[in-house]
């Protein structure tokens, strides 16, 4: 792999700076690769390549763009085991999950946009008025480490479908998967300059992308704090910004719910990807009269989790991605104890079966008040807060008492009642009884309030990358 270079204008090119970063396997704390860190000069080179390519790529047919998207999906499929092993090594998800989620979802995203591109109505109207939906231009993508290739695919595939060109800065904590994607893109022959890859830090490359006058749009996924900074910089050139930021998602368990189904599902939802999921249902809001039942079920579910080596088939969950995040999670667990939450299981320190790596004990707190730090802050680790309520109205009030609004869940044996509560939760996506889209296609994903703006995936995700032009006198 050309880990010592960047992919710019269809070629692997040497960086213009000399700084590097070690990529650490979070399960054993060993260095698995060393990558260059980009500069503002590298960023400008990539942006200029994307700008030059836009004139031609934006005019390609939907059939041509669809074909490239399907070929990228097929290219990822051909290398899925390599990609899964790479992601398991760089960010720690167990290999089975890395195959199904971290690799499977990106393949499906590119394939879905291959279909959407052919079906989408880019032009409409007749007579004196024609409405044309055109690509927004050069896009800058700043992506996270928790679902690294999945988050990249949601942006890159939609932008390619729209006819945009782009510069990608993956997370410097888990960038190796992005290099594999660049190799696939090179193999399928995407025209030079359409897709460009630079590794680097947020304060250097990320800010250079957000502030660059020739970048027409920035799509960022990450923390709310960093998203605010991206917005500030982008505002100077009035570019379009979409943000997918933090979450503190509620899981409202109504008093008629099947607890034996709802509680283990809620715990596993909170612990998905070792808690490193922005939409994780980290606040379990439960009827006070059934609190003892909930506590027993949640404790049992948490204690069934096996933290361990991502390549050990007995491991169900892996480590936190890096040392700084591990320390943050440990501090917040201690804060929960200090503020008086009831610790049911877990707590500070590593699980007993591991001696090194950034592993966190699966932790459950009960009797949590919604004004406690662990109920307010996004922890991004395997930490569940159980919050009791007395009335349904109070449950909804607790659910919405947060600066975030990314996701939510409702459990009830009465679907009409669950639908009523789902409508009242202020979030971009709500699951009823763990409901999924099934055959309905990819659901739009994005948040209310400080969880961001804009939507990703499906037709809604494509429209984020389109400008609307009205042509009069057609």
Strand partners, 31: 24
Query: Which backbone phi and psi does 354 adopt, to 5 degrees?
Result: -125, 145
Task: Determine contact, residues 19/204, Cβ cutoff 8 Å.
Answer: no
Q: pLDDT, tens digit, for every residue of 217-227?
A: 999 999 999 99
Structure confidence at residue 6 (pLDDT):
98
**Domain-embedded: residue 39:** yes
Give the pLDDT confidence of 277-328 residue by residue, as tens digits.
999 999 999 999 999 999 999 999 999 999 999 999 999 999 999 999 999 9
Cβ–Cβ under 8 Å, residues 193 and 55: no
- Res 111: pLDDT: 97
Considering the domain architecture, whether residues 414 and 460 belong to the same structural domain is answered as: no
Residue 208 · residue 236 · CB < 8 Å: no
Whole-angstrom distance, CA of residue 373 vs CA of residue 348: 16
Rounded CA gap, 159 and 169, in Å?
15
Q: Which of 139, 164, 270, 278 is catalytic?
A: 278
pLDDT digits (tens, 9 = 90+) for 317-376: 999 999 999 999 999 999 999 999 999 999 999 999 899 999 999 999 999 999 999 999
CB-based burial label for 199 (10 Å; 0-12, 13-18, 19+) = buried
> How confident is the model at residue 1, as a pLDDT?
58
Token match 């932790």: residue? 363
| 3-state DSSP assignment of residue 172 | coil
CATH number of the domain bearing residue 219: 3.40.605.10
> β-strand 240-244 against 217-221: which pairing, if any?
parallel
Q: Are residues 26 and 141 in the same domain?
A: yes
| pLDDT number for residue 425 | 98
Q: Are residues 223 and 306 in the same domain?
A: no
Predicted confidence (pLDDT) at residue 80 exceeds the cutoff of 70? yes
The reply to whether 270 belongs to the active site is no
How high is the mean pLDDT of the chain?
Answer: 96
Per-residue confidence band for 96, with pLDDT thresholds at 50, 70 and 90? very high
- Assess whether pLDDT exceeds 70 at residue 439: no
First vs last C-alpha separation in the chain? 51
pLDDT at 442: 83
Cα–Cα distance measured from residue 197 to residue 179, given in angstroms and rounded to the nearest whole number: 8
pLDDT in tens, 23-33: 999 999 999 99
**Buried b / exposed e across 387-416, counting CB within 10 Å, b at 16+?**
bbbeebeebbebbbbbebbbbbbbbbeeee
**Distance (Å, whole) CA 188 – CA 416:** 48
- For 39-76, the DSSP string reads -HHHHHHHHHHHHHHHHHHTTS-HHHHHHHHHHHHHHH
271 is a domain residue: yes
Q: What is the pLDDT of residue 2?
A: 63
SS3 212: coil
**Which is nearest to 249 in space by CA: 450, 458, 457, 454?**
450
Q: Residue 82: helix, strand or coil by DSSP?
A: helix
3-state helix, strand, coil in the chain (%, to 5): 45, 20, 35
Q: Are residues 173 and 217 in the same domain?
A: yes
Mean pLDDT of 452-458: 97
- Cα gap 139→190, rounded to integer Å: 16
Candidates 80, 244, 295, 456; catalytic one: 244
Residue 256 and residue 230 share a domain: no
> What is the pLDDT, as a whole number, of residue 441?
63
Sheet harboring 466-472: ordered strands across? 123-124, 129-135, 466-472
Q: What is the pLDDT of residue 436?
A: 75
User: Which stretch of DSSP H or E encloses residue 27?
Assistant: none
**What is the distance between the alpha carbons of residues 159 and 50, in angstroms, rounded to a whole number?**
12
Residues 429 and 464 in one domain: no
What gap in Å lies between CA 211 and CA 221, rounded to an integer?
17
Same domain for 357 and 313? yes
Q: Is residue 213 part of a domain?
A: yes
Distance (Å, rounded) from C-alpha 257 to C-alpha 284?
13
Check whether residue 299 and residue 400 sit in a common domain. Answer: yes
Inter-residue contact 433 to 413 (CB < 8 Å): no
Q: Report the run of H or E that residue 98 belongs to, with start and end.
A: none
pLDDT average, residue stretch 432-449 = 81
- What's the pLDDT at 141? 98
pLDDT of residue 438: 53
256 and 163, same domain (yes or no): no
Domain housing 366: 250-438
Domain count, the chain: 2
DSSP E strands in 101-225: the ranges are: 123-124, 129-135, 138-142, 165-169, 195-197, 217-221
Is residue 371, in this structure, part of any structural domain at all? Answer: yes
CATH code at position 336: 3.40.309.10
Residue 320, SS3?
coil
Bridge partners, 409 (sequence order)? 251, 431
Q: Are residues 223 and 324 in the same domain?
A: no
Is residue 443 in a domain? Answer: no
216 and 261 co-located in one domain: no
Asked if residue 428 and residue 299 are part of one domain, the reply reads yes
- Average pLDDT over every residue of 102-109: 96
Query: How far, in Å, are 41, 84, 199, 309 from residue 15 at the CA level?
Result: 9, 27, 10, 34
Average pLDDT for residues 427-453, to the nearest whole number? 87
Q: Is 71 a domain residue?
A: yes
pLDDT digits (tens, 9 = 90+) for 164-214: 999 999 999 999 999 999 999 999 999 999 999 999 999 999 999 999 999
Catalytic (active site) residue 172: no
Domain assignment present for residue 444? The answer is no
Share of the chain above pLDDT 90, in %: 96
Residues of the chain above pLDDT 70, percent:
99
Give mean pLDDT, residues 229-253.
Answer: 98
Quote the CA–CA distance of 393 and 398 in Å, as a whole number: 9
Q: Looking at the domain assignment, is residue 318 inside a domain?
A: yes
Side by side, which strands form the sheet with 195-197? 11-13, 6-8, 195-197, 165-169, 138-142, 217-221, 240-244, 452-453
At residue 69, the 3 state secondary structure works out as helix
Both tokens assigned to 106 = 């990106």
pLDDT of 269 above 90 = yes
Residue 431 pairs with which residues in a beta bridge? 409
Nearest Cα residue to 142 out of 151, 130, 129: 151
Task: Decide the pairing of beta strands 363-366 and 383-389.
Answer: parallel
Structure token digits, residue 330: 């440990």
CA distance to 203, 328, 402, 447, per residue, from 397 (Å): 37, 28, 10, 18
- Angle CA(177)–CA(19)–CA(91) in degrees, nearest 5? 30
Q: What is the pLDDT of residues 122-144, one digit of tens each?
A: 999 987 999 999 999 999 999 99
């Amino acid at each position: 792999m050309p880990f010592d270079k960047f992919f710019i204008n269809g070629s692997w090119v040497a960086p213009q700076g000399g700084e590097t970063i070690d990529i650490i396997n979070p399960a054993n704390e060993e260095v698995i690769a060393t990558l260059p860190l980009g500069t503002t000069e590298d960023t400008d080179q990539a942006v200029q390549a994307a700008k030059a390519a836009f004139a031609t790529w934006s005019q390609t047919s939907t059939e041509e763009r669809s074909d490239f998207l399907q070929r990228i999906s097929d290219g990822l499929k051909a290398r899925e085991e390599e990609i899964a092993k790479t992601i398991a090594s760089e960010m720690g998800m167990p290999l089975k999950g890395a195959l199904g989620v971290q690799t499977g979802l990106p393949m499906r995203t590119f394939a879905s946009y291959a279909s959407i591109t052919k079906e989408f109505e880019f032009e409409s109207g007749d007579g004196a008025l024609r409405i044309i939906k055109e690509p927004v231009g050069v896009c800058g993508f700043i992506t996270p480490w928790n679902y690294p290739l999945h988050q990249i695919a949601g942006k890159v595939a939609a932008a390619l479908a729209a006819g945009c060109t782009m510069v990608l800065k993956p997370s410097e904590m888990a960038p190796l998967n992005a290099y594999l994607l660049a190799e696939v893109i090179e193999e399928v022959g995407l025209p030079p300059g359409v897709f460009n890859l630079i590794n680097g830090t947020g304060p250097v490359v990320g800010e250079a992308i957000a502030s660059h006058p020739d970048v027409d749009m920035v799509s960022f996924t990450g923390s709310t704090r960093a998203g605010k900074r991206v917005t500030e910089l982008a505002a100077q050139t009035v570019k379009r910004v979409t943000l997918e930021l933090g979450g503190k998602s509620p899981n409202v368990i109504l008093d008629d719910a099947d607890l034996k189904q709802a509680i283990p599902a809620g715990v596993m939802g909170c612990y998905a990807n070792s808690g490193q999921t922005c939409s994780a249902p980290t606040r379990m809001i439960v009827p006070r009269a059934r609190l003892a039942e909930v506590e027993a079920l949640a404790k049992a579910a948490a204690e069934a989790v096996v933290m361990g080596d991502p390549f050990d088939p007995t491991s169900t969950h892996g480590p936190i991605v890096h040392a700084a995040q591990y320390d943050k999670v440990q501090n917040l667990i201690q804060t929960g104890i200090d503020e008086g939450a009831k610790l049911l299981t877990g707590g500070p320190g590593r699980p007993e079966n591991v001696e090194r790596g950034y592993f966190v004990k699966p932790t459950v707190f009960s009797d949590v008040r919604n004004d406690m730090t662990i109920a307010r802050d996004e922890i991004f680790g395997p930490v569940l807060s159980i919050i009791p309520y007395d009335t349904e109205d109070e449950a909804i009030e607790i659910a919405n008492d947060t600066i975030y609004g990314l996701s939510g869940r409702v459990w009830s044996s009465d679907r009409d009642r669950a639908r009523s509560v789902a409508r009242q939760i202020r979030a971009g996506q709500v699951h009823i009884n763990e409901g999924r889209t099934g055959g309905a296609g990819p659901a739009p994903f994005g948040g209310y309030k400080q969880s961001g703006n804009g939507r990703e995936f499906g037709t809604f995700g494509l429209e984020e990358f389109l400008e609307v032009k009205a042509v009069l006198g057609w």
